[in-house]
Structure 1
Amino acid sequence: MFQSFESQSERGAAAERIKELRRHLAAAKLDAFLVPRADEHQGEYVPASSARLGWLTGFSGSAGLAIIAKKSAVLFTDGRYTVQAKAEVDPDIMSVSLLPRGRIGEWLLENLPKGARVGFDPRLHTVSEIERLEAVLQPRAIKMVPTPRNPVDRVWGSERPAPPSDPIFLHPMKFAGRSAADKIADIQKALKAANQDAVVLTLSDSVAWAFNIRGSDIPHTPAPLAFAIVPATGKPELFIADAKVPDAVRKQLETFARVSTPDALADRLKALRTSGKKVRLDPNAASYWFAKSLGGVRRIARGSDPVVALKAIKNTTEIKGARAAHVRDGVAVTRFLAWLDGAVQSGTVDEIEAVRRLEGFRRDTSQLREISFDTISGSGANGAIVHYRVNEATNRNLKAGELFLIDSGAQYADGTTDITRTVAIGKPSAEMRERFTLVLKGHIDIATARFPKGTRGIDLDPFARRALWQAGLDYDHGTGHGIGSYLSVHEGPQSISRAGMAVLEPGMIISNEPGYYKEGAYGIRIENLVLVTPLEKPAGGDREMMSFETITLAPIDRRLIAKEMLTAEQIEWLNAYHARVFTELAPLIDDTKERAWLKQATAPI
């Protein structure tokens, strides 16, 4: 199994660990310390050796930051973890705040005395984050203090896991579509256009994409932990541990790049600083340590990581691979749904068994490299926990009269998938059908949207929410996120959300996943991935428009649909989608019972 079911939360140990941390803070004359979820690469998912927030507080979510002060402590997280955070964090030692991370400074102002000293690990916080805090805290003379060594690591001591050391491997042209040399040339072109001498790449997936390498340092994300410096002219330099680079891979990399160890990075940054080079650094992605190493925040050339925009627009090979991956994955998901429909009649299927079975069907493809994230397998009330991760303590049976939400994905060499289906176990209630249909209406309205050049995700987000809003309902997460090509399941800059300011471009792949969650009862989410199509003038129109091509293929539970709530156009889309699902998947399913189930599941409503 790629997924374990042991509880990742050590809530019971948090009190003693925080007590010990406070002793270290007192010795360093610090009034508080920031403990983020992030690692040195600012990744969403981190290796076990960098899971400081979870180890210290018991919170196992993928987004959060804790502040440990002398006599108080708080965990900041977002709406995805409303239920989970309260369950995993001991309220006797730490409060939970669902306020945006931008309000961290306000908490510090309210809870610390004038002139207080707030410690932080400069490798774990972005330039922008520290600058914002310094600006907010300056009127009360509260000082942000970078620590030479993370005090959490001191408390963790010898129990802290070793950093990952698995070897990297090349991502071949038949999947990448473009050579690393060509990609580096595009980065250099952007630097020259901006009159900059070099850029420091700190995001793991940016380095992986630019150098056409993959690894297994990060759970479920095939990107190695590495940094890179790309000059405007000349060879780029990749910084990665020697033990991770097999001889054959090194030989290939050295045809277009220098390969060095991370120990050399500080010296290279110093050389750039002393030479007066204009070095680009993304203040929203690169850590404060990089800015200080380059001479301070005033010396860097501020600009977005150029790779982020380049890799977001998939080339023809990546698009072809994504479509193939989703057909393959659709067969696996469909076979799982067919199995589930029959197996739940026994009343003995539980959340863990469902996860194991789904991974098994994906393994049957013989092309599964990894899952793309821990499967969210939530029955009944567990489905209302947006990022629920089943473990042996929380595992429950799928019971008649409840809903079952399963959000999962796979990593194939030709593409990354992410799909959510909500399934009725037995007969659903009228309320369940109504709210499922409201979510479906929003999903269809995104899938069928047409939009002009310059449209941002924030412009489309209300399409997904309108039906829910009309009923006085909503959900506390984004409607869609970008997705990588055999890379991160969550990729920017594009999103469909209240914060989605990036312009959507043809070739971007993005999720379409509105939802509804009734705490303590059930959760609903319907997720497909969609591809932004090229501009095209509709018949009779004056302007060119983009649209979405749905690339995820799997049945949507017809038993949960209240047909009378759908418009004629929405019914037409659903029936056409299901017809396409059957046409593309049925020839690839050998089992006659599974094929018969698919025919019934995709019948017109």
Structure 2
Amino acid sequence: MFQSFEVTARPEQGPPRLRALRAELTVEGLDGFLVPRADAHQGEYVAAHDDRLAWLTGFTGSAGFCCVLHDVAGVFIDGRYRTQVKAQVAADYTPVPWPEVSLGNWLKEQLPAGGTVGFDAWLHTPDQIAQAEDTLKGTGIILRPCVNLVDRIWVDQPAPPMFPAKAHPIEFAGETHVEKRQRLAQGLREAHQKAAVITLPDSHNWLLNIRGADIARNPVAHGFAVLHDDATVDLFMALSKLDDLRPHLGGDVRCHAPEQFLDLLKTLSGPVRLDKQSVPVIVADTLGDVAVWGSDPCALPKACKNAAEINGSAQAHLRDGAALCELLAWLDQQPAGTITETQVVSRLEAARRKDNALQDISFETIAGTGPNGAIMHYRVTEETDSQLQDGHLIVLDSGGQYLDGTTDITRTVAIGTPPLEARAAFTRVLAGMIAMSRLRWPVGLAGCHIEAVGRMPLWLAGQDFDHGLGHGVGAYLSVHEGPQRLSRVSQVPLQPGMILSNEPGYYREGAFGIRIENLLVVREAPALSGGDDHRAMLDWETLSFAPIDRRLIDVTLLDAASLSWLNDYHAQVAEKIGPRVSPVTKLWLDSATAPL
């Protein structure tokens, strides 16, 4: 499968495209136009057809948007991308720190006399527009739905993806789509709702036990769905994708062309549940008064993996860990200055491809050495490909999409002799990762309540990082999955079966980057030996197994409990991964996991 259909743009291509878009502003009588990194399905990742932000600006991050006015074009990016954006966009674009600076507040500064800013109602959620409009009250600035002006000027825009969908085997899904539909329909009836609209591809793909290939690295098929309170579903997907799926879907799943989606919405009687954070504005506008706000009915059930999904993920991680160890063993044998980032990426992806269950990598492999490692979501290109030099660190963040699970793991590796300041920072990052891995917490707490645990060792040294501590991960679905997160803003209580990443980091611009990441699954905490368990507790089971570079660890900065955890973890790596690797790699692994 291993497809890569992405949009890239060089910085010098931005200015003429920006001029063309501004000419369309004049034609439409607009003062501005919003260009999000979003498609009509509101997932995090987009197909080449929908990657308008990258085409217009050159910025390829997974989050952000551009607001184009006649005299300024703001590219709104969060802390993960503030180094990356400098290299990708021309001087005609102005990076805006977001969410510190909101769209509404920025527009108030840029359009003091008021004005009209257009947006494509398919590409924004009601929540996004409502937040901006609330800030703009009394300013005379109006947000108005309009045609998509980027599509009008993008003459060689790729066609929408049309890859066939396929059934996801029950041995990996663990529950039939009939059972899922009945379970979720019961929830609709209990809420006295007639239906729910589902636009996120991973949600309705999970619900119907199907997978696809419409987005690189994400095994989803594009479409829309309406789940009714009688457990039937109206599925809106290009019919050519469903040719082989009719027996799997059965008679209770009615298939329609996507062009019929809005027409069917007009026929629904309410209440119809919409998630204001994931449905497009046009869906809410079409339903009007019959719409009620609520969560995506698939989001929480999808996040809480069943036994088959957890077991599949665990097995996928063991095979994936073996592939990573083959790469790490090879990397350790290469003299400094003899290989480049692209060689590391190619070698790692080749190691993963030896597993027949691998369908794709789970995201573009990050292999950033030296200063490139400080770019959190760095992606090596022909222009940036760098040699691994003595004294460098390399941040290697990668994963695979296997039929039985999705993996995501990061290791930071020393090349030659690492600087002392890098060893100290690495050990603090490791201490934070260990602290979260060891944590027990009361039932009912959310990511926002415990996330600081993974940051504390860095905070004590006056250091921090600008990304969340962890994100949810799907079961052969999106590598970034909500609603569960380890972040300051996530108020979704953690529940057994949720899989999340644990990935503290530290980034020194122009010098080096550090990140260590394992995936963990929430479970009911076992009783403490001789303890007084006066309330129900949760803890983690680790899924990822690969050595952590001992050369970067300053043991004087680890307490006894953390060092004990690390040695026990390395013993498990040796036990679980050792039998799965080549004899040469087994020798390296024995050394890499030796006790400290």
Taking structure 2 as the reference length, what is the TM-score of the superposition?
0.98
Counterpart residue number, 2:287: 294
Q: Which runs of 5+ in 2 are unaligned?
A: none
CA distance in 2 between partners of 1:311 and 1:597 (Å): 39
1:426 CA drift (Å): 0.5
Counterpart residue number, 2:74: 74
Counterpart residue number, 1:183: 180
CA distance in 1 between partners of 2:510 and 2:29 (Å): 44
Counterpart residue number, 1:303: 294
CA distance in 2 between partners of 1:99 and 1:347 (Å): 38
Q: 1:206 aligned to 192, 203, 207, which one?
A: 203
Counterpart residue number, 1:402: 392
CA distance in 2 between partners of 1:544 and 1:145 (Å): 50
Q: 1:546 aligned to 535, 538, 541, which one?
A: 538
Contact 2:522-2:541 at 8 Å conserved across structures = yes
Counterpart residue number, 1:576: 568
1:195 CA drift (Å): 0.7
Q: 2:329 aligned to 333, 338, 341, which one?
A: 338
Contact 1:37-1:52 at 8 Å conserved across structures = yes
1:27 CA drift (Å): 1.1
SS of match in other structure, 1:271 = coil
Residue 513 (structure 2) pairs with residue 532 (structure 1): no
Q: 1:354 aligned to 341, 344, 348, which one?
A: 344
Residue 594 (structure 2) pairs with residue 598 (structure 1): no
1:102 CA drift (Å): 6.6
| Percent identical residues | 47
SS of match in other structure, 2:225 = strand
CA distance in 2 between partners of 1:4 and 1:142 (Å): 40
Residues 83-102 of structure 1 mapped to structure 2, 5 A cutoff: 83-91=83-91, 93-100=92-99
Q: 1:261 aligned to 245, 257, 280, which one?
A: 257
Deviations 1:261-292 (A, max 9, x none): 101111101111xxx42110000111101001
SS of match in other structure, 1:494 = strand
Q: 2:224 aligned to 222, 227, 231, which one?
A: 227
Contact 1:537-1:544 at 8 Å conserved across structures = no
Residues 419-438 of structure 1 mapped to structure 2, 5 A cutoff: 419-438=409-428
CA distance in 2 between partners of 1:104 and 1:4 (Å): 32
Counterpart residue number, 1:314: 305
Counterpart residue number, 1:152: 150
SS of match in other structure, 1:140 = coil
Counterpart residue number, 1:565: 557
Deviations 1:426-447 (A, max 9, x none): 1111111111000000000000
Deviations 1:376-413 (A, max 9, x none): 11000000000000010000111111101100000000
Residues 44-83 of structure 1 mapped to structure 2, 5 A cutoff: 44-83=44-83
Q: 1:491 aligned to 477, 481, 491, which one?
A: 481
CA distance in 1 between partners of 2:101 and 2:255 (Å): 38
Q: 1:236 aligned to 220, 233, 237, which one?
A: 233
Deviations 1:166-203 (A, max 9, x none): 10000010110000111111211111111111000000
SS of match in other structure, 1:188 = helix
Q: Identify if the C-alpha distance between structure 1 residues 73 and 597 changes in structure 2 by more than 3 Å, giving closer, same or farther.
A: same
Q: Identify if the C-alpha distance between structure 1 residues 467 and 5 changes in structure 2 by more than 3 Å, giving closer, same or farther.
A: farther
Moved more, 436-445 or 22-31: 22-31
Q: Identify if the C-alpha distance between structure 1 residues 212 and 234 changes in structure 2 by more than 3 Å, giving closer, same or farther.
A: closer
CA distance in 1 between partners of 2:114 and 2:505 (Å): 45
Counterpart residue number, 1:121: 120
Residues 470-489 of structure 1 mapped to structure 2, 5 A cutoff: 470-489=460-479
Q: Which runs of 5+ in 1 are unaligned?
A: none
CA distance in 1 between partners of 2:186 and 2:583 (Å): 55
CA distance in 2 between partners of 1:464 and 1:268 (Å): 47
Counterpart residue number, 1:281: 274
Deviations 1:115-168 (A, max 9, x none): 411100000000111111222212112111101x201100102x0000011100
Counterpart residue number, 1:502: 492
CA distance in 1 between partners of 2:116 and 2:336 (Å): 60
1:365 CA drift (Å): 2.0
* Equivalent residue letter for 2:428: L
Residue 440 (structure 2) pairs with residue 443 (structure 1): no
Contact 1:327-1:585 at 8 Å conserved across structures = yes
CA distance in 2 between partners of 1:25 and 1:106 (Å): 21
* Equivalent residue letter for 1:291: A
* Equivalent residue letter for 1:355: V
Deviations 1:24-57 (A, max 9, x none): 1111111111000011111111000000000011
SS of match in other structure, 1:191 = helix
Deviations 1:81-135 (A, max 9, x none): 01111111112x1110112077110011111143411100000000111111222
SS of match in other structure, 2:154 = helix
1:220 CA drift (Å): 0.3
CA distance in 2 between partners of 1:259 and 1:217 (Å): 18
Contact 2:438-2:540 at 8 Å conserved across structures = yes
Contact 1:3-1:374 at 8 Å conserved across structures = no
1:536 CA drift (Å): 3.9
1:10 CA drift (Å): 2.4
Moved more, 528-537 or 417-426: 528-537
CA distance in 2 between partners of 1:241 and 1:254 (Å): 17
1:256 CA drift (Å): 2.9
Deviations 1:497-527 (A, max 9, x none): 1112110001100000000001000000000
Counterpart residue number, 1:555: 547
Counterpart residue number, 1:519: 509
Contact 1:536-1:544 at 8 Å conserved across structures = no
Contact 2:204-2:224 at 8 Å conserved across structures = yes
CA distance in 2 between partners of 1:537 and 1:319 (Å): 21
Q: Identify if the C-alpha distance between structure 1 residues 253 and 7 changes in structure 2 by more than 3 Å, giving closer, same or farther.
A: closer
* Equivalent residue letter for 1:543: R
SS of match in other structure, 1:306 = coil
Contact 2:362-2:408 at 8 Å conserved across structures = yes
1:487 CA drift (Å): 0.2
CA distance in 2 between partners of 1:465 and 1:83 (Å): 21
* Equivalent residue letter for 1:144: L
Moved more, 217-226 or 228-237: 228-237
Residue 364 (structure 2) pairs with residue 374 (structure 1): yes
CA distance in 1 between partners of 2:247 and 2:294 (Å): 32
CA distance in 2 between partners of 1:258 and 1:199 (Å): 15
Cα RMSD of the aligned pairs, angstroms, is 1.4
SS of match in other structure, 1:15 = helix
Counterpart residue number, 1:250: 246
* Equivalent residue letter for 1:110: E
Taking structure 1 as the reference length, what is the TM-score of the superposition?
0.96
1:3 CA drift (Å): 7.2
1:252 CA drift (Å): 2.0
Contact 1:538-1:545 at 8 Å conserved across structures = no
Contact 1:281-1:291 at 8 Å conserved across structures = yes
Contact 2:182-2:231 at 8 Å conserved across structures = no
Contact 2:181-2:231 at 8 Å conserved across structures = no
SS of match in other structure, 1:348 = coil
SS of match in other structure, 1:196 = coil
Q: Identify if the C-alpha distance between structure 1 residues 559 and 361 changes in structure 2 by more than 3 Å, giving closer, same or farther.
A: same
Q: 1:270 aligned to 266, 274, 288, which one?
A: 266
Q: How many residues align?
A: 594
